[in-house]
Chains A and B, each alone.
Chain A
């Protein structure tokens, strides 16, 4: 069964303290790995799609990387506005539906 596991469940950082979030997956025939950001009371907001091992994508203070078994979301010098829940997801099997991890709740303190 396709699975996505995110760690840690929650992470508290001080402003400027860099760290990484992990997303490990088991899926037959990866057709992309997706990162989303979700703020309280809102729907997830698309961040990145990664398709192959070794691929990297960046957006402001965020950089996503992909290996054959996991993806990392690196946050460099975070700011309080980066506080959110970060979700990763993979397409299930040959379908278009996404399997989501439970997310990492990131809190950045000023």
Chain B
């Protein structure tokens, strides 16, 4: 597609439930990133995929968070046993091979009630 597509755009879930957030990057982009943006905070790095290399998971805040990227394309971020502090906008970005020209999706706004 022409841009990075994320779904759903909004998600309201009950505390303790699991959620899956999807990211469809720009075709041909080998690098894919997940960031989290909380109210009043800057963007917080979560995880980075580059081609077939092992992902950089250093930003995942707890073991409740996991992500996978299938076939070098679509990625899914999973949050298990959601907590209220997980409420944020989750942004996905892709790029060709470097940080030049990251293209972000519009994000998924997650609200945990």
Interface CB pairs A-B, < 8 A, 10: A34-B99, A42-B107, A43-B106, A46-B102, A49-B99, A89-B43, A96-B48, A96-B50, A97-B48, A101-B42
Complex Cα–Cα for A6 and B105 (A)? 23
Interface bits A24-68 vs B (CB < 8 Å: 1, else 0)? 000000011010100001111110010000000000000000000
Contacts of A41 in B (CB 8 A): 106
Q: For the side of the interface on B, what is the size category?
A: 20 to 34
Chain B's nearest CB lies how many Å from the CB of A98? 6
Chain B's nearest CB lies how many Å from the CB of A86? 12
Identify the closest chain A residue to B43 (Cβ).
Answer: A100
B8-39 with Cβ < 8 A to chain A = 31, 33, 35
